[in-house]
Chain A
Amino acid sequence: MKPRVAFFDFASCEGCQLSVINMENELLDIVSHIDIVNFREAMTEASDDYDIAFIEGSVTREYDIPRLKKIRENAKFVIPIGACACTGGVNFRKNFYELNEIRYYVYRDSAKYFDTFATRPVKAVIPVDFEIPGCPINAKEFLSVVKSLLIGKKPEIPNYPVCVECKLLGNVCMYDKGEVCLGAVTRAGCGAWCPSNSSGCEGCRGLVDEPNKNSEIEVLTKAGLTVEDAIQKFRIFAGYFEEVKK
C-alpha cells in the first residue's frame, strides 16, 4: 500500500508547502508513490489516517498544542519542514521583544483579541522523527528525504556547514567579495543556495552542532559589522539556538 502523507501548517508563510507544489517536474512521479491525504493549501479533502505528517510553521498559541498532539498520535513519522517548524524561523524574532509591547505595537486597540505566546518550534511541543530545515526548504532535499522514507532508509540532514557545499561548487567566498556570510556555522543541505547567488548565507537552516560562535562573531566584526549587528545577524533565523539566545 502506498504511504499516506499529510501536510499541516502553523504560523508560517506557507513557502515550504509551496516549495513542494513547485516541484513541477517531479510532482507526478511523487504522487505515483504516495497518497496525499491532507494538504490544505492544495486540496479540500482531509483525513486523519496518515503515515507521514509534514509540519510547516511554528507554534505561537495555546490552540496549536492539542492540534499538534493529535497529529503526533495519528502519524508514524512527524517531520517538521522549514525554519519556522524546526527552529521558529523568523517568527522567533518576536521572542526578543517584550510580548505585550509587540502585540500593542502591531494591533493597538485590538491587541486583546490575540492569544499568542513566545514562538517555539514543533519539537518543543511534540517529539519529532527528523527535520528538514531551511527557509524555505530546498525541494531537492525534501525530495531526497521522501525518497529515503519510501525505500526505508533513514534520511540524513548534513551535520557540516554550508561552507562545504559552497566549496564543492567552487564559489568565490563572500568574504573575498567583502561581504559577510554565516556559512561556516550554518547547517548545510541547501546546496549553498545564497552564496551561490552571490549573497551571504543568512543561517536559515540553523547552526551546526558545536558552532564556534565567538570566532564567527569576530569574523563578522572584522568584516565591518558592529557586535550588535553581528548578533542581530544570527537572530534573523537562529535565535532559537542556545548559543544565540545568550
Chain B
Amino acid sequence: MVANIQEKSLYLPRLAKMTKKERFTEKEMFFEFRFDDGSNLNHRPGQFVELSIYGIGEAPISISSSPTQQGYFELCVRAVGRVTNYLHKNLDVGSYVGIRGPFGNGFPYEKFKGYDMLFICGGLGVAPLRSLINYTLDKTKRNEFGKVYILYGCKNNQEWLYQKEVESWLNRADVETYLTVDKCTDSNWKGNVGVITTLIPKVNFDVNKTIAVICGPPVMYKFVVLELKNRNFKEENIYMSLERKMKCGVGKCGHCQINNVYVCQSGPVFDLPTVRKLQEAI
C-alpha cells in the first residue's frame, strides 16, 4: 500500500531520566530530563512532547527549555490529572519517563529575525514561551533579534513560575519585563495589579517591527488580541500557541481538531490570520 513505512510504532516512547525536580508553586513543578545516550531532543521552541508513564498514561507538555541548551530539556508541569499528579507525587530524580516527540510546528523564529519581540505570557503559558524567550536571549542568537519585551501575568504573587529567571530578565538591560498579578493578595507586591491586558498600554513597541507571541489560558487570547489591535498591531505579526486536548500528538486521535486543522500537526503555534479563519479557535 504505502511504500517506505517505518516499522516502528508511532506510540512507543523513548526513555528519559529525570535529572532535576523543583517545586515552583503548589500546583506547578519544574523538571529536567536527559536521555541516557546524551542525545538532544532537537526541538524548536514552541514544540511539545508526549510525556508517558506506563500504567498511568500520557500527556502533552510544552518544552520549556531553549534548543540552545544542549544535553537536556526542561518541562514545567501543572498537576491537574493522572499523569501530571503522578509525575509530581510519585516520581523523583533518577526515575524514567517515556518521551515521544517533539511534536507540533513550533515558532517560525526564522521569520522573526530582525524583529523586536513582544512576549505575552499568562500563567502556565510562560512554559512554552520561555523556550523561545531563552532562545532569543541566548548569547549566540541575541543579535538576530531587536528589542525584547516580556509581559507576564499571574493570578497572584504566589504563582510565579521560573521566578529566578524572571528576576534575571528584570535585571537585564536588553529586556523590558513587565509583571502583573490579577489580584493582590500580598502586601509585598509593589507591581502592577490587573489582568495582563493592562500591561500592554505601558509598553512602547514599534508596531512596524514587532512580533507578538501570546500564550496563556483560553480566555486570555481574545482580549490580548483586542488590545494589540487597539495599538494597531499588524495581524500577521501576532502569533499564539493554542492548547487543546490531545491523545496522540501525531494527527490521528482527533481531539485537538479545530475546524479543518489538527493543532498537533498545524499548531500549536498559529498566526492571527490563520486563527481568524478558524471559527472555534479563540
Q: How many A-B residue pairs lie within 8 Å, measured between CB atoms?
A: 15
Number of interface residues, chain B, beta carbon within 8 A: 9
Number of interface residues of A (CB under 8 A): 5
Q: Is the CB of B55 within 8 A of A154?
A: no
- Which 3 A-B residue pairings sit nearest by Cβ, starting from the closest? A152-B90, A153-B56, A154-B82
Q: Which residue of chain B lies nearest to A155 when distances are taken between CB atoms in the complex? A: B82
**Does B85 interact with chain A (Cβ within 8 Å)?**
yes
Residue numbers of B with Cβ under 8 A of A are 55-57, 81-82, 85-86, 89-90
B interface, by DSSP: helix, strand, loop or mixed? Answer: mixed
Find chain B residues with CB under 8 A from A153 CB: 55-57, 82, 86
With an 8 A cutoff between CB atoms, is A156 at the interface? yes
State the main secondary structure of chain A at its contact with B. Answer: loop
By a CB distance below 8 angstroms, the chain B residues around A154 are: 81-82, 85
Q: Which residue of B lies closest to A151 (CB)?
A: B55
Interface residues of A in 133-167 (CB under 8 A from B): 151-154, 156
Most buried by B among A151, A153, A154, A156: A153
- Taken together as a complex, chains A and B put the C-alpha atoms of A42 and B85 apart, in Å, by 35
In the assembled complex, the Cα of A156 lies from the Cα of B57 at a distance in Å of 12
- Name 15 interchain pairs, CB-CB below 8 A, sorted by A: A151-B55, A151-B56, A152-B56, A152-B86, A152-B89, A152-B90, A153-B55, A153-B56, A153-B57, A153-B82, A153-B86, A154-B81, A154-B82, A154-B85, A156-B82
Measured CB to CB, the residues of A under 8 A from B are 151-154, 156
Nearest residue, chain B, Cβ from A147: B55
Closest Cβ of chain A: how far from B79's Cβ, in Å?
10
A151 partner residues in chain B, CB cutoff 8 A: 55-56
Min CB gap A84→B, angstroms: 28
CB of A77 to closest CB in B, whole Å:
14
A162 to B89, CA, bound (A): 33
Give the CA-CA distance A156 to B82 in the complex, in Å: 9
Taking the closest CB of chain A, its distance from the CB of B91, in whole angstroms, is: 10
**How far is the CB of B254 from the nearest CB of chain A, in Å?**
15
List residues of chain A with CB within 8 A of the CB of B89.
Answer: 152
A152 and B88 CA atoms in complex are apart in Å by: 11
Assembly CA distance A151 to B90 (angstroms): 9
Residues of A within 8 A of B90 (CB): 152
Contacts of B55 in A (CB 8 A): 151, 153
A154 to B82, CA, bound (A): 6
CA–CA, A153 to B89, complex, Å? Answer: 10
A151 to B53, CA, bound (A): 11
> CA–CA, A210 to B55, complex, Å?
30
- Minimum CB distance partner of B56 in chain A: A153
Q: How far is the CB of A144 from chain B (nearest CB, A)?
A: 12
CB A32 to nearest CB in B, in angstroms, measures 18
- CA–CA, A91 and B24, complex, Å: 48
Instruction: Specify the chain A residue showing the minimal Cβ separation from B81.
Output: A154
C-alpha gap A59/B85 in the complex (Å)? 33
Alpha-carbon distance A156/B81, docked complex (angstroms): 10
Most buried by B among A151, A152, A154: A152
Q: Which residues of B contact A152 (CB under 8 A)?
A: 56, 86, 89-90
Which of B82, B85, B90 has most A Cβ within 10 Å? Answer: B82
